Amino acid sequence: MTAPEARTRTDLLSLPPEEAEATLARHFATRDQPSYRTEQAVRWLYEGDAAGFGEMTNLPLAERAALEDAFVPPALPVARVDRSRDGTAKHLWRLHDNELIESVLIPAGRRLTLCISSQAGCAMACTFCATGWAGYRRQLTAGEITAQYRGARAWARSEGYPDISNIVFMGMGEPLVNRKAVIPALGILNHGFGVGARRITVSTVGIVPGILEMAEMPEQYRLAVSLHAPNHELRQTLIPVERKYPLPELMEALRAFERAGGKRITFEYVMIDQVNDHPELAEELARQVGEFNALVNLIPYNPIPGREWVSSSPPRLRAFAARLEEMGINVSVREPRGRDIAAACGQLRADAVEGRTAPVGV
Ligand code: SAH
């Protein structure tokens, strides 16, 4: 049975920062506390690492207890942490209903990128992605999204990593089919935690209404689009949602996004040997994205259980990249990170960790 307070407690990390502050101010006012208590709690929330109200050591014990009664703890319990040989670190977070999600910290020089999840599982069923294979569980709340940032930041600080410089919505799930939580979470990360909008990237499989909604936002959040194929026929074999939002519609939405101003688009293209890496596809891709001020990010395919595909060989990848460049396209190649702990792109499938979903057939 759920404790009654668990149903009524407010999750501060789900609220826009000004509302969280107002809520705390009301809470302390009803308890006849001085107004600076609000400031203290707000600092703990956005700047501090306390895993629970009990650790907010400059508040009186009675106030810590009262906060515990009124609010959801601002941290998710860690079910497991894995650290790769290359410094990449994967957190498995346990949600209040025992669902599991993952986030990944990826250090690169002085940069530290945090990759976060927007759903438990994913319903998109892209054929090359382990998250999709493991199935869909549920939407995350804004608080469950922002708590990944807050918790990963605390861990990174305690382990001597640099400050988190970038956040990418490239973990589990399709962020633009959870706009109800993702859009508020963007605001909380930006205005509450102070992460610059241009340092936050939403990666989408191509959900047209979501792209149009992002185009309308005043903040310059970045958009990455998982393209993976330059034509409808091939793309629909990799990404089922291509049938719902076919390429011409997707391109039209991206034009609207670009017209909205100053927002560079990244096209992600996973390189699967003999599947989507033929030289003539590079030319078709260049024609498809050439009209945008875009970057094509080639991602070597990370192996997932149950699929015999392999990554394009380095020469094949270089040839594909060179062809794009010859046609005037900006290209980068994503270095695979954290493969040894199944933390690389497409490898996240937290539910399988506890064997709750049937293992993907090998
Ligand atoms: N649903 C969003 C974000 C999650 S995936 C999206 O589709 O963009 C983040 C990136 O990893 C996407 O570009 C996705 O296509 C890519 N990816 C998925 N499986 C992969 C794999 N096995 N190897 C390499 N990249 C993969």
Distance 128 CA to ligand 1 centre (A): 8
The SS3 assignment for 219 reads coil
For residues 152 and 112, give the distance between their C-alpha atoms in angstroms, rounded to a whole number: 11
Distance 203 CA to ligand 1 centre (A): 8
* β-bridge partners, 111: 108
Strand pairing report for 200-204 and 166-169: parallel
pTM: 0.94
Of ligand 1's listed atoms, the one at least distance from the Cα of 169 is 3
Q: Respond yes or no: is residue 345 known to be catalytic.
A: yes
Q: List the catalytic residue out of 21, 63, 99, 102.
A: 102
φ, ψ of residue 168 to 5 degrees: the values are -125, 135
Of ligand 1's listed atoms, the one at least distance from the Cα of 172 is 4
Domain ranges in the chain are 3-70, 78-354
Strand pairing report for 166-169 and 78-83: unpaired
Q: What is the residue-averaged pLDDT of the chain? A: 93
Distance 170 CA to ligand 1 centre (A): 7
Q: Which of 179, 203, 276 to mutate to test the pocket of ligand 1 (most atoms within 8 A of CB)?
A: 203
Q: Respond yes or no: is residue 335 known to be catalytic.
A: no
Q: Which CATH number fits domain 78-354: 3.40.190.10, 2.20.25.10, 3.20.20.70, 3.40.1050.10?
A: 3.20.20.70
Residue closest via CA to ligand 1's atom 7 equals: 205
State the DSSP code for 97. T
Residue closest via CA to ligand 1's atom 26 equals: 346
Q: How many residues does the chain have?
A: 362
For residues 318 and 327, give the distance between their C-alpha atoms in angstroms, rounded to a whole number: 14
Distance 345 CA to ligand 1 centre (A): 5
Quick one: how many helices (H) and strands (E) in the chain? 13, 12
* β-bridge partners, 93: 78, 101
Distance 270 CA to ligand 1 centre (A): 8
DSSP conformation letters of 116-142: --SEEE-SS--TT-HHHHH-EEEEPPH
User: What pLDDT is recorded for position 348?
Assistant: 79
Q: Which CATH number fits domain 3-70: 1.10.150, 3.30.70, 2.60.40, 3.40.1710?
A: 1.10.150
14-55 pLDDT per residue, tens: 999 999 999 999 999 999 999 999 999 999 999 999 999 999
100-159 pLDDT per residue, tens: 999 999 999 999 999 999 999 999 999 999 888 788 999 999 999 999 999 999 999 999
Q: What string of pLDDT tens digits covers the 362 residues of the chain?
A: 445 444 589 999 999 999 999 999 999 999 999 999 999 999 999 999 999 999 999 999 999 999 999 999 999 999 999 999 999 999 999 999 999 999 999 999 999 999 999 999 999 999 999 888 788 999 999 999 999 999 999 999 999 999 999 999 999 999 999 999 999 999 999 999 999 999 999 999 999 999 999 999 999 999 999 999 999 999 999 999 999 999 999 999 999 999 998 678 999 999 999 999 999 999 999 999 999 988 999 999 998 888 899 999 999 999 999 999 999 999 999 888 888 888 778 787 765 555 444 333 32
Burial of residue 35 (number of CB atoms within 10 Å: 0-12, 13-18, 19+): exposed
* β-bridge partners, 129: none
Q: Which of 168, 202, 268, 333 to mutate to test the pocket of ligand 1 (most atoms within 8 A of CB)?
A: 268
